[in-house]
Amino acid sequence: MQFSKDDLSRIPVWVKLHNVPLDYWTNKGLSYVVSALRVPLHADITTLIRKRLTYARVCVEIDASKLLVKEFDQQCPNGMVITILAEYEWLPSRCTSCNVFGHNLAT
């Protein structure tokens, strides 16, 4: 088996989103919010059924060539702007020279 650079430049990771308004706790709403981070893949079932309201947990595809978004502003339906915090549950090592995951410049 041989991997190409493209195989290791984008990976899925789980993210906890804090301060997401309840109006956005739907597949469509979370997809809209998560698109500020990168490519939305899916939300966990606990988030979709609103069993845990302290954060929304979603899986997103991140790209090694792009900086990670740690917080961003979201305008609510009532016009208020809130800051949503993104907490990545796990991140692999990332090489900033060749823009792939799995190693860094030191290795």
Assess contact for 17 and 58: CB atoms under 8 A.
yes
Q: Is residue 3 part of a domain?
A: no
pLDDT at 19: 95
| pLDDT by 10s per residue, the chain, length 107 | 555 555 578 889 999 999 999 889 999 999 999 988 888 999 999 999 999 999 999 999 988 778 889 999 998 878 889 999 999 998 877 777 777 777 766 65
Residue 7 covered by a domain: no
Judge whether 58 lies within some domain.
yes
* Containing structural domain, residue 52: 13-101
What is the reported pTM? 0.82
Q: Report if residue 30 sits inside a domain.
A: yes
DSSP code for 64: T
Give the CB-side neighbour count of residue 101, counting CA atoms within 13 A: 17
Give the chain's domain count. Answer: 1
In a domain, 107, yes or no: no
DSSP code for 15: E
Measured distance CA(92)–CA(11) in Å, rounded: 9
